[in-house]
Amino acid sequence: MIKRIEHLGIAVESIEESLPIFETLFSASCYKQEVVESEGVRTAFIQIGESKIELLEAISLDSPIAKYLEKNRGGFHHIAFEVDNLEDELDRLRNEGFTLIHQSPKDGADNKRIAFLHPKSTKGILIELCQEKKSDTD
């Protein structure tokens, strides 16, 4: 079940140049930056209330963000929803006829397991589903 909007993803040419603008805009500081090698992306997160903004910068020329920036000048990239159980939600959406980019969850940024729905099945909007990774003590 979808619980809430977790974050909005914004593609940028440079986190170093963009981060001060967004920190000033939201009167909030970045709480985390990290690289997700499997996606070829560097991320930076800003918390705003219960949601977040994720800035995404390509670190490889063949990454999804690099391809996005080739076609666009940056800006809104995706919306992410937090779910109770990522595997169950992927099964539900697959059975409802949605096209999945990721058939099973993978590790993402900010201690999340993630999977994306293809925009061709969501009227052009890239949707990310995410679930907090469980700790070894859970």
Using CA atoms in the order 96, 10, 71, 14, what is the torsion angle rounded to 10 degrees? Answer: -150
Q: Which two tokens stand for residue 87?
A: 């595997």
Q: Which residue has the tokens 């800035």?
A: 55
Q: What is the pTM of this model?
A: 0.91
Question: In a 3-state reduction of DSSP, which class is residue 94?
Answer: helix
Beta strand extents in the chain (DSSP E only): 2-11, 30-36, 41-48, 51-58, 75-83, 106-107, 112-117, 127-132
Q: Please, which residues have CB within 8 angstroms of residue 76's CB and are 6 or more apart in sequence? A: 8, 9, 10, 11
The one-digit pLDDT tens for each residue of the chain (138 residues) are 899 999 999 999 999 999 999 999 999 999 999 999 999 999 999 999 999 999 999 999 999 999 999 999 899 999 999 999 999 999 999 999 999 999 999 999 999 999 999 999 999 999 999 999 987 555
78/124 Cα distance (integer angstroms): 10
Burial string for 54-85 (b: 16+ CB within 10 Å, else e) reads: bbbbbeeeebbbbebbeeeebeebbbbbbbee
In the chain the first and final C-alpha atoms are separated, in Å, by 20
18/121 Cα distance (integer angstroms): 31
